[in-house]
Amino acid sequence: MKIAIPSYGKDLNSRVFEHFGRAPYYIIVEIDPEKKEIISVSALENPLIEEHMPGQIPALLAENKINVLIAMGVGRRARSFFEEYGISVITGAEGLIKDIVDKYLKGELRSIPYEPKEKWHERKERRYG
């Protein structure tokens, strides 16, 4: 089983990135669900960080055989793409990735709604526009 988590950095000590589609990296954690332990950890650099069309990030993660996306938030449209690929989505995750994975392995991670404080495109326009 493979989990993907949008990240600022390349390892488990990185923090979750707020906007899953604009994350610099996705930490890919392969786990043994029966033993509840990590098999491997890798970082997938996001080739679509600057621009992407709806559905491209879910397709990218599906190509990498991801089973579960753990993120802060995922909109309805993106969620429907993930569902089409058979990728489960858990939202509301914040903090260090190693802590999130630990909670997932212990069965303590629950999906909770997440609303961004501001829309990503509005923030991007203010920073770059």
- Report pLDDT for 95: 94
- pLDDT tier at 116 (50, 70, 90 boundaries)? low
**Residue 101 above 70 pLDDT?**
yes
The domain that holds 47 is classified in CATH as: 3.30.420.130
Note the pLDDT of residue 125.
41
Question: Residue 19 pLDDT more than 70?
Answer: yes
Q: Measured between alpha carbons, how far is 21 from 9 in angstroms, rounded to an integer?
A: 15
Q: How many domains does the chain have?
A: 1
The reported pLDDT for the residue numbered 117 is 60
Does the pLDDT of residue 122 top 90, yes or no?
Answer: no
Q: Which domain holds residue 53?
A: 2-128
Mean pLDDT of 19-24: 88
Q: Which residues of 58-74 are buried (b: 16+ CB within 10 A; e: fewer)?
A: bebbbeeebbbbbbbbb
Find the mean pLDDT for residues 92-99. Answer: 95
Per-residue pLDDT at 52? 74
What DSSP line would sit under 58-117, residue for residue? HHHHHHTT--EEE-SB--HHHHHHHHHTT-EEE----SBHHHHHHHHHTT---------S
Mean pLDDT of the chain: 88
pLDDT tens figures, 29-77: 999 989 999 999 999 999 888 777 778 999 999 999 999 999 998 888 8
